[in-house]
Amino acid sequence: MTLADDQPLLVAEGLGKLYGGRVGCLDVSFALWAGEVLAIVGESGSGKSTLLKCLSMQLAPSSGRVHYRLRDQRMVALDRLSEAERRFLMRTDWGFVHQDPREGLRMGVSAGANIGERLMAVGERHYGRIRGAALDWLDRVEIEADRIDDSPLAYSGGMRQRLQIARNLVTGPRLVFMDEPTGGLDVSVQARLLDLMRRLTHGSGLSAVVVTHDLAVARLLSSRMIVMQAGRVIESGLTDQVLEDPQEPYTQLLVSSVLQV
Amino acid sequence: MTISKLLEITNLCKTFRLHIQGGVEIAVFNGLELTLARGEVLAVTGPSGTGKSSLLKLIYGTYRAGAGRIEVVHRGSVIDIATATPRLIGDIRRHTIGSVTQFLRAIPRVPTLDIVAEPLLERGEDAAKAKARAGELLERLAIPPRLWHLSPVTFSGGEQQRVNIARGFAARAPILLLDEPTASLDPANRERVLAMIAEASAAGTAIIGIFHDAAARNQVATRTLALTSPP
Amino acid sequence: MPYGWGTGGVQVTASLLKPDDVLKVIDQGADDTTNAVSIRKFFVRTAGIATTEDTRRATVIQTRHRIPETPLGEGQILVLQVPIPEPLRFLEPRETETRKMHALAEYGVMHVKLYEDIARFGHIATTYAYPARVAGRYVLDPSPIPKFDNPKLDRCPALQLFGAGREKRIYAIPPYSRVVSLDFEDHPFSVQRFDHPCALCGGRDSFLDEIIMDDRGTRMFVCSDTDHCSKRRAAGLGSSGKRR
């Protein structure tokens, strides 16, 4: 295998989103390969969440486009997909982990149903198998099996977030988007979640795009990083490059502002 | 490059520009040249602040060169790390250049065995074999099996450093960068590490090391490079 | 009209009736409830059509909560009234979203509901308005008929129309359409079985109502479909089910 003929999984080309005259994000380009975790870091208002929404087809970009390599190896422009294809992709090949797990879960049904839903959506019709898959994933995200029939309303914030991850991963997606996945959680809870995410992404071939304001999260999870400010990409590179040899003034400011414990 | 030369640095220039300190510039290298062949153990020496660690980080791709070339033999081709894409540098780190930094970046909850096995897993090695090799190295460095399932976060400085070294040696990369590998070690462990370095070198690994301890340096180095402050 | 009876059925029937139609109206299977009688009288007064209690003679049958036991034939029309026509509403409150889900056949959530039943009760506990899939494509709420009646929807020679008055929705199952109730491979759909025969006609194949007779809790099980029951009795079948 040589690197040259290894096609990227996701390619953003000149991606931009304008709100009237206001810049959401502008001229963002990058490529992501299988097994890579890319962190998009920036402070509030940097445009990182807007970028994530454009990448994951939740917002239509004002300019540029996003290409994705399907399982049959075809590279498609996402804006050319039909709505049915888009929604199918989002259910099977992709995952989206919201900062608030309530947005990514059905709070009114049991944990088992939350995990099993995607399987049922793609035609799984054997209750025993669905339940078995749910139990398997609860184990992988370190939720006790006897919580399978509980509603997520009875779960703590950290458990809900782990459940959201399980719900997203059950169909074996190749790309997961995460929007501040540790936001709002206590530090010890964050550590556990990050450890889980690290184990799930590293060496599994799963690619991820993680939006975070927390450089420590980026350092832990990602191999590559993009720094955003006012909607623009300020700097990008390998995570250790950006954190240890920041070139741009803003990046240097960001890195130096982080307290070392 | 000839068959045995694995690394060639030409006219390496690096200046840090500290924008938040009013644009202060710190020049580290101004035209450094260096070659490294299979089996060599190059000891980099010089006073503090002359860029020893920076040199290793430039070769590893963590620091970006301002000018010049850092060429390595990678998968049979010559690649210039100074201009390589992040993705290519990632591949070079997985397959061609191993690194032992000065301090282990220990992540809570990740077991020692997994930390050491990781470089092998990243290049696609079978999990069982990777863990077996990790275990061999840890035993060699006197980290007993009862500690392997624990995260090194609570280990002593010397233990952490030995885990770091095991991790660096795990994948048997053709080029190995060692930043103060014996610094926090007692004499017995120091000898173990120096023996590993000698073995690796005899097996053809090209090594660049920073050893503040002159005796250690003299024991393993085949060449030295003395760095001085740039003009 | 009393709230809850629903105008959906009445509106659909009103739009269908021709002068030579014969209308039957039943409420929970019975022709003689107050509501069924009122509606029948209403149409006699406004449309001047003939009415009947005999399922076989009716051309239009308006019903709430049951499908007649007597198999329907070609040319007949069954009108059912539906309170909540959207089967996905319980999990998805947005109309824009449910329309998309139907358009794209995204019906995973329907099985979520059945999964929850099994997880909670050990079996699918839904006994009324049991969801079914039409022509292998669309999932519908068949109105609050007992699941006992779901098999009657399948390949029915009559046209089956569903009206929801408040939501202003009409949907239809064309004659002879395949209608398959949703289930799991390891929890297949099954109809209710009764332990007792009908106390009046002895029938064992019809849907029974339970009637409390007195303060001591004496109960009687009788066919909910009054026409079906009286026909069986007229044919000489008694409570033993055998000819007298």
- pLDDT tens for each residue of B89-138: 999 999 999 999 888 887 778 899 999 999 998 888 899 999 999 999 99
User: Does C115 contact A at CB distance below 8 Å?
Assistant: yes
Chains in contact with B via at least 3 Cβ–Cβ pairs below 8 Å: A
What pLDDT is recorded for position B123?
85
CB contact under 8 A, A245 and B110: no
B199: pLDDT strictly greater than 80: yes
Residue of A nearest to B74 (CA): A2
For residue C232, is pLDDT > 60? yes
pLDDT at C131: 94
Q: What is the predicted pLDDT for the residue at A191?
A: 85
Whether residue C242 is predicted with pLDDT greater than 80 in this model: the reply is no
Which pLDDT value is given to residue A2? 45
Q: Do B110 and A198 touch (CB under 8 A)?
A: yes
The shortest CB-CB distance from B19 to any of A192, A238, A249 is to A249
Average pLDDT of the segment spanning C22-43: 93
Largest CA distance in chain A: 57
Three-state SS letters, chain B: CCCCEEEEEEEEEEEEEEHHHCCEEEEEEEEEEEEEECCCEEEEECCCCCCHHHHHHHHHCCCCCCEEEEEEEECCEEEECCCCCHHHHHHHHHHCEEEECCCCCCCCCCCHHHHHHHHHHHCCCCHHHHHHHHHHHHHHCCCCHHHCCCCHHHCCHHHHHHHHHHHHHHCCCCEEEEECCCCCCCHHHHHHHHHHHHHHHHCCCEEEEECCCHHHHHHHCCEEEECCCCC
Q: What is the pLDDT of residue A1?
A: 40
Helices (H), chain C: 7-16, 34-47, 95-103, 108-121, 150-153, 226-234
Neighbours of chain A (3+ CB pairs under 8 A): B, C
Does A247 contact B61 at a Cβ distance shorter than 8 Å?
A: no
Q: What is the pLDDT of residues C149-167, one digit of tens each?
A: 999 999 999 999 999 888 8
pLDDT given for residue C91 in this prediction: 83
Most B CBs within 10 Å: which of A187, A238, A260, as the mutation test of the B interface?
A238
Please identify among residues 139-198 of chain A the ones whose CB lies closer than 8 Å to any CB of chain C.
148-149
**Chain B nearest CA to A253, separation (Å):** 7
Enter the DSSP assignment of A246.
Answer: -
Please check the confidence at residue C240 and state whether its pLDDT lies above 80: no
Mean pLDDT, chain C, rounded, equals 91
pLDDT tens per residue, chain A (261 residues)?
Answer: 444 458 999 999 999 999 988 999 999 999 999 989 999 999 988 999 999 999 999 999 999 999 999 999 999 999 999 988 998 898 889 999 999 999 999 999 999 999 999 999 989 999 999 999 999 999 999 999 999 999 999 999 999 999 999 999 999 999 999 999 998 888 888 888 888 888 888 867 899 999 999 999 999 899 999 999 999 999 999 999 999 999 999 999 999 988 665
Assess B125–A contact: CB distance below 8 Å, yes or no: no
Q: Which position has the higher pLDDT, B231 or A247? A: A247
Q: Check CB contact under 8 Å for B107 and A195.
A: yes
Chain A CA closest to residue B108: A191
Q: Do A238 and B62 touch (CB under 8 A)?
A: yes
A204: exposed, middle or buried (C-beta count within 10 Å: 0-12, 13-18, 19+)? exposed
Predicted pLDDT of residue B84: 96
Rounded alpha-carbon distances, angstroms, from residue A235 to A11, A24, A250, B18: 17, 17, 9, 15
Find, in chain C, the residue whose alpha carbon is nearest to that of A119.
C108
Q: How many Cα neighbours within 13 Å face the side chain of C33?
A: 16
Is the CB of A125 less than 8 angstroms away from the CB of C108? no
- Which of C104, C109, C119 lies nearest to residue A117, judging by beta carbons? C109
Cα–chain center distance at C80: 7
Is there a contact between B62 and A245 if contact means CB atoms under 8 Å apart? yes
Contacting residues of A for C111, CB less than 8 Å apart: 120, 125
Q: Do chains B and C touch (3 or more CB pairs under 8 A)?
A: no
CB contact under 8 A, B88 and A192: no
Could you say which of C104, C116, C186 has the minimum Cβ distance to residue A109?
A: C116
pLDDT at site C239: 66
- Whose tokens are 């990050």? That residue is A194
pLDDT bracket for residue B21 (50, 70, 90): confident
When pLDDT is cut at 50, 70 and 90, the band that residue C118 belongs to is very high
Instruction: Provide the pLDDT for residue A200.
Output: 87
User: Shortest CA distance to A93 belongs to which of A56, A123, A65, A54?
Assistant: A56
Q: What is the ipTM of this complex?
A: 0.91
Q: Which of A143-152, A192-201, B153-162, C30-39 has the lowest mean pLDDT?
A: A192-201
- List the strands of the sheet with B77-80, edge to edge: B24-37, B5-18, B67-74, B77-80
Per-residue pLDDT for C2 more than 70?
A: no
Find the mean pLDDT for residues C16-38: 93
Distance from CA of A239 to the nearest CA of B (A): 9
pLDDT on residue C73: 96
pLDDT at residue B159 is higher than 70: yes
Q: Per-residue pLDDT tens for C154-201?
A: 999 999 999 988 888 899 999 999 999 999 999 999 998 888 899 999
